[in-house]
Amino acid sequence: MAHTKVQMSHLTASTMREVAARNPVILLPLGSFEDQGPHMPMGDYLLADAMAERIAQQATQNGLETYVAPVLPFGGADYFGYMPGGIALSQTTFQAVLTDMLTGLLRHGLTRLIILNGHGGNCTMIHDVTHALWRQNNVVIPSFYLWRVAASLMPQIMGAEVAGRSGGHGANPLTSIGMFLKPELVENTKIPTQSHEKTAWGLKVLDFGTVDLNGVPVSIPLEGDSTATQGVGRGNPALCNAEDGKILTQKLVDYGVQLVAHVMQQSA
C-alpha cells in the first residue's frame, strides 16, 4: 500500500483549506492513558491512533478521501484513578472537550465525521455529545468502538475457548493488537500469569466495578486496584500473540473502511 499523508497534523494550513473544501471523511481517534497491565504501554491511545492511520490509508487508497484528526489521549475517568501517572478527564470535562472538538470541525462544513473510540469510559458521553449535535445540526456522527468490535471477532479468529480465556482488560484483544502494531512497546517478560479469582466487598469479582451476588451482577464503586490484578481483569494475557493481533487489526481496518464508505454514501 502506497503511503499517503492522512494525518491532519501533518498538513499545512493551505493544504487543509483545500482539503476542507472537499469535505472528506475525518476520523477522530480517542483513547486513554491508564493501567493496561504490567506488560503494556499506558498509552492505549497510541493503538487507536495507529488504527485510525491504517483505516484512513486504506480508505484513501480505495478512492475514499479520509484524514485523521489529532488523537485525544485522555479518556473519561472510570476505574483507573489508582494508577500513578495516569491521566483521565472527568466525565463532564470529557463531554465538553469532545463537544468542542466536533463543533470545531462542523463549523467549517466538515460533516463526514467518525469517532474511533478506544476507551470504555468514553461511551456514555460520546452518545450524549453526538446525540446533541444530531439534534442541533441533523448530522449523524457514528462511533466505532474499536476494542469492542475486536472482542466480538475473537471467537471466529482464535476459537471460542481461547477467546473466553484470554478476553478482558489487560489481555485480549488489546494486548494482541499491541504486539502487532507496537511490538517495541510491549514488555513480554512482564506478562503476568493468570490471576486467581478475586473478591471485593465480600463477593466474587466479575469484572471492573461488578461483583456476583448469588448469580446476579451488582455494580460497586470500587476502582481497578480492588477488582483487577495489576490492571489485568478476567483474561489471561499469556494467551495473546501478534499473529492474532494482525488478523484482528486487518478485520478492524476492513470494517472501518466499510464505515467510511457508508458515511460517504449517506452524505452524498
pLDDT tens for each residue of 213-260: 999 999 999 999 999 999 999 899 999 999 999 999 999 999 999 999
Give the pLDDT band of residue 2 (cuts 50, 70, 90). low
- Higher local confidence (pLDDT), 253 or 3: 253
Q: How far apart are CA 172 and CA 245, in angstroms?
A: 9
| DSSP per-residue letters across 108-120 | TT---EEEEE--G
Instruction: List, in order, residues 6 or more apart from 246 with CB less than 8 Å away.
Output: 180
pLDDT for the residue numbered 33: 98
pLDDT for the residue numbered 89: 98
Give the pLDDT band of residue 56 (cuts 50, 70, 90). very high
Residues counted in the chain: 268
pLDDT more than 70, % of the chain:
98
**Which residue ranges make up each domain of the chain?**
8-146+250-266, 150-243
pLDDT for the residue numbered 268: 75
Q: What would the grid cell of residue 148 be?
A: 469492542
| Cα distances (angstroms) measured from residue 76 to each of 38, 69, 149 | 21, 19, 20
Residue 186 pLDDT exceeds 80: yes
- Whole-number mean pLDDT of the chain? 96
Give the pLDDT band of residue 169 (cuts 50, 70, 90). very high
pLDDT for the residue numbered 125: 98
Nearest to 171 by CA among 120, 227, 235, 119: 235
Torsion sign across C-alpha atoms 38, 91, 255, 19 = negative
Residue 22 pLDDT exceeds 60: yes
pLDDT for the residue numbered 4: 87
pLDDT for the residue numbered 194: 66
The mean per-residue pLDDT over the stretch 53-65 comes to 98
Q: How far apart are CA 86 and CA 36, in angstroms?
A: 11
pLDDT for the residue numbered 197: 81
Residue 1 pLDDT exceeds 60: no
3-class DSSP state for residue 116? strand
Residue 3 pLDDT exceeds 80: no
Give the pLDDT band of residue 185 (cuts 50, 70, 90). very high
pLDDT for the residue numbered 135: 98
Decide if domain 8-146+250-266 falls under CATH 1.10.1760.20. Answer: no
pLDDT for the residue numbered 193: 79
pLDDT for the residue numbered 195: 65
